[in-house]
Amino acid sequence: MVKEAKAPLPDKYKQFGEWYDLVSEKAELADVRYGVKGFVVFRPNLMTIVRAIYETLERDLIASGHRAMLFPLLIPFRNLLVEKEHVKGFENQVFTVDKAGGEELEERLFIRPTSETAIYPMYALWIRSHRDLPFKAFQSCAVYRHETKATRPLFRGREFLWIESHDVFATREEAEAQLREDLEITRKTFEAMALPFLPIEREPFDRFPGAERSVAYDVALPDRQVLQSATTHLLGKRFTSPFGVSFLSASGEKVVPESTCFGPGVSRIAALVISVHGDEYGLVLPFRAASVQVVVIPIRNEPALVEYSRSLAARLTGAGYRVRVDDGSETAGEKFYRWEMLGTPVRIEIGPREAEGRVLTVTRRDTRKRESVPEDGLLARLPAIETEMLAELSRKAWGWLNSNVHEASTREALLAVARGTGGFIKFTFCGGEGCAAEIKAATGGYEVRGKRADVEEAHAASCTWCGAPGTELAYLAKAY
């Protein structure tokens, strides 16, 4: 047996910032040494997580009738000025390009902070008839916003990876239905990564610039602050009309269509996979997000053990797993720690007893529990471990989220939760922007996130904070 040493990372529930920075470094995820503020390098271990998220999202978008497209990074500045609220929301955040090849550009360009202003002028050319609708398309890309709120890598960078889908419909009903479909796509991706979320409809004063309805997907992190990981917006005719998108109906009338957009933040979902599942030994990854899914470790560097490890690894690779044999010169204990830090879902130790008896010692990363599996039963056991692990990660993650949703029916109770445990606080809200600002000031930063978008929740007659007539049961949280 290998002796247990001290856990290499702090308790993430107590020192989340330190935990996150250390795991990011030791598990070789985001590298902050690039040298441009707000920009990080995505190392291969992080890109495996990112690609797994992209794959599930793209698969479900395509299955729901979307097609992939790709727009240029640069957008003419005049396009930004077309929709008034949109320009107000983004003009202070955009990176602009004035020069090229040492010469002033005739027309100033900006780098996309989101792509409505690039896409709608082209949609105006492509969409002509009711037969062109619905038009559902997405792009997988990076967007750029000059964020001033500095936070940790992947949470709020100046460059982040996402998918943006931009859909156009003949009717409002179809556009509304798209918001529900976007929620289902988000749900499937989050389930694939064993992540929980609360779909919350944002308040009118807190919507995406130019949106008529915004639904966001919020998750509480180990420090009980909330990360918005994806959003979907009903844009109505707010972009189609000013950008001149129209179609001829079956009866020959010119009609301005409705549109929606959906932006799952892939960088942020990756940050959730890291933060929600990790522990004091490092990352804990679901199989699909792991660069190496099974590591085979000969406990000593003896030819018989190494050879047996390699033959076992070859069989697993043949069965479709991403496998590595660690026959390096470190001690077995050092190797165990390294692969635990990387979040490798399954470790198989090979000692003389295992090699001779053909009964393997298999350790699952999430529970760190060992079990004995006969060699000829391994290929049947691994998919079961994958399923069990995903279910257990999901159960734990939902348990954490649910245990951090509190309800307050008085102002005092609300303040007590805000000063005490933190997390989400449900309360009856009047809908007032001034009331929300007052709560934020009194609680040291708790923001009204909005009401649940997926279920109806009953509310009291008057606002828990100000006593004005209550309009909804809203969620409060501190956010990244």
Binding site for Zn ion (CB under 5 A): 430, 435, 463, 465-466, 468
Nearer residue to Zn ion within complex by CB, 204 or 374: 204
Nearer residue to Zn ion within complex by CB, 380 or 468: 468
CA-based nearest residue to 210, from 168, 240, 232, 239: 239
Q: How far is the CB of 448 from Zn ion (least distance, A)?
A: 9
Nearer residue to Zn ion within complex by CB, 87 or 466: 466
Q: How far is the CB of 470 from Zn ion (least distance, A)?
A: 8
Helix (H, G, I), strand (E, B) or coil at 319: coil
Nearer residue to Zn ion within complex by CB, 22 or 466: 466
Nearer residue to Zn ion within complex by CB, 79 or 464: 464
Burial class (CB in 10 A: 0-12, 13-18, 19+), 351: middle
Nearer residue to Zn ion within complex by CB, 70 or 468: 468
Nearer residue to Zn ion within complex by CB, 62 or 468: 468
Q: How far is the CB of 20 from Zn ion (least distance, A)?
A: 35
Q: What angle do CA 107, 109, 110 make, to 5 degrees?
A: 160
Q: How far apart are CA 136 and CA 259, in angstroms?
A: 10
Q: How far is the CB of 405 from Zn ion (least distance, A)?
A: 20
| Contact in structure between 56 and 192 (CB atoms under 8 Å) | yes
Q: Provide the terminal-to-terminal Cα distance of the chain, rounded to the nearest Å.
A: 43
Q: How far is the CB of 279 from Zn ion (least distance, A)?
A: 40
Nearer residue to Zn ion within complex by CB, 296 or 408: 408
Please tell me the total number of residues recorded for the chain in this structure. Answer: 480
Helix (H, G, I), strand (E, B) or coil at 406: strand
Structure tokens at 449: 């996130």
Q: How far apart are CA 235 and CA 66, in angstroms?
A: 18
Q: How far is the CB of 463 from Zn ion (least distance, A)?
A: 3
Structure tokens at 190: 């989050």
Q: How far is the CB of 450 from Zn ion (least distance, A)?
A: 14
Q: How far apart are CA 210 and CA 338, in angstroms?
A: 48
Nearer residue to Zn ion within complex by CB, 223 or 472: 472
Q: How far is the CB of 460 from Zn ion (least distance, A)?
A: 11
Q: How far is the CB of 430 from Zn ion (least distance, A)?
A: 3
Q: Which residues of 266-300 are buried (b: 16+ CB within 10 A; e: fewer)?
A: bbbbbbbbbbbbbbebbbbbbbbbbbbbbbbbbbe
**Strand boundaries in 190-293, DSSP class E:** 198-201, 213-220, 226-236, 247-248, 254-255, 258-264
Provide φ and ψ at 162, rounded to 5°.
-155, 180
